[in-house]
Amino acid sequence: MKSVIQNWLLSLSPTSQRMVLLGIIYVGFVSLGLPDTILGVTWDPIHREFCLPIQYAGIITVLLTICSAISAFLSGAILRRTGTGKLLMVCGFVTGGAMLGTAFSPAWWGILCFAIPLGFGQGAVDTGMNFYVAKHYTSRDMSWLHCCWGIGASGAPMLATALLDGGFSWRWGYGVIAAIQLALAVIFLFTLGLWREQNNSAPDDQASPKLAGRVTRDLRFFGCPIMMFLYCGIEFSMGLWCFAFLTECRGFSNTAAGYAVAGYWGMLTLGRFLIGFAANRIGNTTLIRFSMITATAGALLLMIPGPTVMMLAAVGLTGFAFASFYPSMMHAAPERFDDATAATVIGYQGGAGMLGGALIPAAFGAVAGRIGFGLLPIFIAVVAILIFAMQFKIDGIVRPRS
């Protein structure tokens, strides 16, 4: 069966093969977003079933973040030895098995144990897909790839809510997502021949999967993950603390602030879809700079007390501004570095982003809890300007290769 499908796929024209593979990657990124957000809906029945304090959800989140970050940091080296297709196939089975194990966990310790392989699998899949699209596809495709993550991240809570409303256990949500992950792993297995490295010269299973070049770790190399660390920090800080800022500092009701936060994430996802149409013409360097300039403008607008409409526009503008940064940073890696260095730096960027998204919002919350959440737009603006300066320095040293 596997050989029949592979032979049929390889008989397609190169253009058709690229489109089939891109579709698989898009589905894979939707699948990648599913486990990231399901806990927010399922935790209430989980902690009640196992008689756990509600704050224990933070333990799972931290564990997933640490494991995903470690995996992302290491996945560049793994990619250089195994190739993208094999890495994604193995990690697909790992994440699917971890979700299935969570669904059948008899106690709290089971959920913790299965969070470890889930985190490691997700970090490697994220790096592998980002590198492959950055190397073989366009900026538009990368922007839409991360839009697909938003679809998955939005779909998981909807799926879990529908199942719980239908009288099903929280375990069914994890079981359904496990089935999706395992099915995707099988698809990766059957399509190994389509995954090509080294200028698309030969299939993964017919050529050496090693990536060309030696990893060069210099100032430019380390500057990229630092930028990603800072960016994810302000992106998630805005998402986490915007509610408190609007209610405490701008007089919003809880309902209005809640819709504003939903609008922030919605504009970020919508922005990735819309920007994708023009991403190839604009280019990664310009998109990164546009992101930070527009984010600064949104933050400055938030600093000015004004009517509700103006505040909502500022929140939406900030979300739209952030839309292009992450995919553009990933797609710019092969322009900035050789293949081996690009694969490694993408892993470092993913790991640094995960750490920034976990640590910076927590640190800001601790400070703002004492001083006041009016610091939020000031913090966003200052960090955005710092990232802009760092990016200008990195891309100003060596002209990006197109």
Pairing of β 196-197 and β 202-203: antiparallel
CA distances from 145 to 72, 211, 250, 323, 390 (A): 18, 23, 35, 12, 25
Stretch among 219-233, 289-303, 330-344 having the lowest mean pLDDT: 330-344
With a cut of 90, say whether residue 56 has pLDDT above it. no
Q: Which residue has the higher pLDDT, 308 or 207?
A: 308
Q: What pLDDT, on the 0 to 100 scale, is given for residue 199?
A: 40
Q: Is the pLDDT of residue 106 over 60?
A: yes
Comparing 363 with 158, the larger pLDDT belongs to 363
240 vs 196, higher pLDDT = 240
Percent of the chain with pLDDT over 90: 38
- Comparing 299 with 7, the larger pLDDT belongs to 299
Average of per-residue pLDDT across 115-129: 90
Across 294-303, average pLDDT:
96
Task: Please give the distance of CA 171 from its chain centroid, rounded to a whole number.
Answer: 25
Please tell me the distance from the alpha carbon of residue 378 to that of residue 373, in angstroms, as a whole number.
10
Of the candidates 348, 303, 335, the one whose C-alpha atom is nearest the C-alpha of residue 402 is 335
20 pLDDT above the threshold of 90: no
Tell me the pLDDT band of 57, cut-offs 50, 70 and 90: confident
| Residue 358 · residue 65 · CB < 8 Å | yes
Q: Are 192 and 6 in contact (CB under 8 A)?
A: yes
Structure tokens at 214: 């030696």
pLDDT at 1: 63
**How many other C-beta atoms are found inside a 10 Å radius of the C-beta of residue 2?**
12
What backbone torsions phi and psi does residue 304 show, to the nearest 5 degrees? -90, 115
pLDDT of residue 198 exceeding 70: no
Q: What mean pLDDT is predicted for residues 326-342?
A: 88
pLDDT for 206 equals 42
Q: What's the pLDDT tens digit per position in 232-262?
A: 999 988 988 888 899 889 988 888 888 888 8
Please, what are the domains in the chain? Answer: 2-203 (1.20.1250.20), 219-397 (1.20.1250.20)
Lowest mean pLDDT among 48-57, 202-211, 349-358: 202-211
Can you give the pLDDT at residue 325? Answer: 95
